[in-house]
Amino acid sequence: MSVIGVGQAVVLGIVEGVTEFLPVSSTGHLKMVEGLMNIPVDDDAVVGFTAVIQVGAIAAVFVYFFKDIMRFVTAWLRGLTDKGERDNHDYKFTWWVIYATIPIVIVGLAAKPLIDGPLGSLWVVAFSLIGGSVVMWCAEQMARFKRGEPDVTMKDAMLVGTSQILALLFPGFSRSGATISTALVRDLDRTAATRLSFFLGLPALTGAGLYELKDATSGGVGMPALAVGTLVSFVIAYASIAWLLRFVAKHSFNSFVVYRIVVGLVLIGLLSTNVLDS
| Tens digits of pLDDT across the chain (278 residues) | 577 889 999 999 999 999 989 999 888 898 889 888 888 877 777 877 887 888 899 899 999 999 999 999 999 999 999 988 899 999 999 999 999 999 999 998 898 888 878 888 889 999 999 999 999 999 999 999 999 999 999 999 999 999 999 998 998 899 999 999 999 999 999 999 999 999 998 898 888 777 766 666 655 677 888 899 999 999 999 999 999 999 998 999 999 999 999 999 999 999 999 888 87
The DSSP output letter for 84 is G
Rounded to an integer, what distance in angstroms lies between the CA atom of residue 234 and that of residue 14?
Answer: 9
Distances (CA, A) of 206 to 56, 224, 260: 9, 20, 25
The answer to whether position 278 is within a domain reads no
Asked whether residue 110 is domain-assigned, the answer is yes
Q: Are residues 8 and 39 in contact, defined by beta-carbon separation less than 8 angstroms?
A: yes
- Type of residue at 117: G
**Residue 147 β-bridge partners:** 188
Tell me whether residue 1 is in a domain.
Answer: no
Asked whether residue 41 is assigned to any structural domain, the reply reads: yes
Closest CA to 21 of 150, 230, 199, 210: 199
**Torsion, CA 134, CA 135, CA 136, CA 140, rounded to 10:** 100
The verdict on residue 277 lying in a domain is no
Q: With respect to residue 151, please indicate whether it lies within any of the assigned structural domains.
A: yes
Number of structural domains in the chain: 1
Helix boundaries (H) for the chain: 6-19, 26-36, 44-64, 66-81, 89-110, 112-116, 122-142, 154-162, 164-169, 175-185, 190-216, 223-248, 254-272
| 163, part of any domain | yes
For position 149, what pLDDT does the model report?
93
Q: Which domain holds residue 183?
A: 6-272
Is 119 within the bounds of a domain? yes
